[in-house]
Amino acid sequence: MTDSRLNTTLHHTLETLAATPAGFSVSDVTGHAPEQVRRAAQALVAAGRLHRATVGTRRVRYFASAGGASAFLKTQPSTSPARALGTARTKARWSADEPGLITAQTRIIKAPPLPRDVLRTNTYPMY
């Protein structure tokens, strides 16, 4: 049973691209908005005319057959999850009680003492 809504030029183009060994991704299709291509591809997947191959977390390729999708995935290198980079909220890997690492290149700078009659300054906000 064929759906007449899936017989547009875009749908035929997607099926032609999916028949290639590399399949297609949404960014491969030019001349149409990415959201329009994605919706058309999803409609073809729901109708069973295309097969999805999830390449990465946010990357999907579409193929004409399930065998083509699995063959493409076998040729792709395995990906390991990306390690989160350190941010301001990341805790240090050492404990607070551990002494610091002091080498010959370490520069220790001591601040000058507080003025005697400090009432209020921008430099010392604690007074």
Domain ranges of the chain: 4-75
* Nearest partner of 21 among 66, 88, 62, 68, judged by Cα: 68
Q: For residue 5, how many other CB atoms are within 10 A of its CB? A: 10
Q: Residue 123: pLDDT above 90?
A: no
* pLDDT: which is higher, 24 or 87: 24
Q: For all residues of the chain together, what is the average pLDDT? A: 84
pLDDT in tens, 59-114: 899 999 999 999 998 998 876 666 666 666 667 777 888 888 889 999 888 888 87
SS3 content of the chain, % helix, strand, coil (to 5): 30, 5, 60
CA distance 51 to 41: 9
Query: Which CATH code is given to the segment(s) 4-75?
Result: 1.10.10.10
8 Å CB contact between 22 and 45: no
Tokens standing for residue 60: 């999907």
